Amino acid sequence: MFKNSLTIALALVAIAFLVTACNTEEDPETKPPEKKEDDTTIPDSKEPEEKEEIIVEAPDSNLQKKDEGKSVQLLQEALNEIGYSITADGVYEETTTWAITDFQLQYEELQVTGVYNKKTRKALDETISGNGDIEPGLGLPQAKETSTTDEGAAILNNPYDQLALVNKENALPSDYIPSDLVYPNVRFPFPDEIPKRQMRQVAADALERMFDAADQDGLDLFAQSGYRSYNTQDSIFASNARQYGEEAANNFSARPGESEHQTGLTMDITSPDVNYELIVEFGETDEGKWVKEHAAEYGFIIRFLEGKEDITQYQYEPWHLRFVGEKAATEMAEKGITLEEYLVN
């Protein structure tokens, strides 16, 4: 009996052992899969990074025709940003001058000169930022081809250009009348407020500064003749041609359209010492000598230089001043060159 009881007890222990072993074994359904050596963790995909927005700003420099460099390139890129199509090569040439002129014509508060300055920069930045509205070509359509006068002179597409070359080969449009003509506050030998007392604002301001400086040096300058319309010049040339013959008249008198007086950037000056006349002897007066030495400081050149008649195709006129801006005037005065030579070089 004891033997049987022992056998039963051993059997029960064996059963208990088997049950425990089964309860502690991992469930193959919940067991994590073994990691293989070549398994790699794939990171969560990220959104593509946004490209940094390129902000175009107009350059902080005064620029004009003939300038070159990085600042000019930045200006061209800024103009392209608002709809122009200019080669951004860093050269301020005719196309860039046209674009600036066209832009200025669409902002009433800007002087229209084709010269890039602080006020133009401010307006350009406003336009880039969306606070201005311009349409390229709306102010000054870009000419696709050049037209000519009956005499064969090319008609300028941009008569507003401060450095516009007006001569026997390049004429102003017959309908061009500057919109910003004013009466400069300087002395004239006559009292009447007639058109020939007028100049464009930028030139009138400079003339006033020059006359003030001459006064301080004890000189007695007088302005004699400024703006002339196309029709007025037509009458003047016709009269001279009848009196002296057309070829002779054209040595000292311009055909209509070929006169710088129509630009509004020119003023003939004189003094009491020559009885207020416009004659070569003015260059020998104290006033004439002072003007020759100091005119460039105020942006003026003596347009028809002595010894340069073969280039200008006009006689020497020490009284005929043309406004081109201080930068260009200074360079021309230092080199003793004409506007024709300055623009070609």
For the chain, 345 residues long, give each residue's pLDDT as a single digit of tens: 434 444 444 444 444 444 444 444 444 444 444 544 444 444 555 555 554 555 688 999 999 999 999 999 999 999 999 999 999 999 999 999 999 999 999 999 999 999 999 999 999 999 999 888 899 999 999 988 889 999 999 999 999 999 999 999 999 999 999 999 999 999 999 999 999 999 999 999 999 999 999 999 999 999 999 999 999 999 999 999 999 999 999 989 999 999 999 999 999 999 999 999 999 999 999 999 999 999 999 999 999 999 999 999 999 999 999 999 999 999 999 999 999 999 997
Confirm whether 46 is domain-assigned. no
Nearest to 116 by CA among 67, 70, 178, 155: 67
Which CA distances in Å does 161 have to 68, 105, 290? 18, 12, 28
Give residue 102's domain range: 56-141
Same domain, 86 and 200: no
Q: Into how many domains does the chain fold?
A: 2
Residue 52: per-residue pLDDT: 53
Same domain, 178 and 321: yes
| CA-based R_g, the chain, Å | 40
Confirm whether 244 is domain-assigned. yes
Domain containing residue 246: CATH number: 3.30.1380.10
Residue 50: per-residue pLDDT: 55
Same domain, 197 and 303: yes
Same domain, 130 and 185: no
Residue 143: per-residue pLDDT: 85
Residue 185: per-residue pLDDT: 98
Domain containing residue 69: CATH number: 1.10.101.10
Confirm whether 187 is domain-assigned. yes
Same domain, 170 and 119: no
Q: How many CB atoms lie within 10 A of CB 291?
A: 25
The crossing angle, in degrees rounded to 10, of helices 94-105 and 118-128 is 80
Same domain, 101 and 160: no
Of 141, 173, 197, the last residue of a domain is: 141
Residue 46: per-residue pLDDT: 54
Same domain, 103 and 60: yes
Tell me the whole-structure pTM to 2 decimals: 0.83
Of 141, 167, 200, the last residue of a domain is: 141
Confirm whether 170 is domain-assigned. yes
Confirm whether 235 is domain-assigned. yes
Local structure of residue 117 (DSSP, 8 states): -
- The Cα–Cα gap between 280 and 32 comes to 109
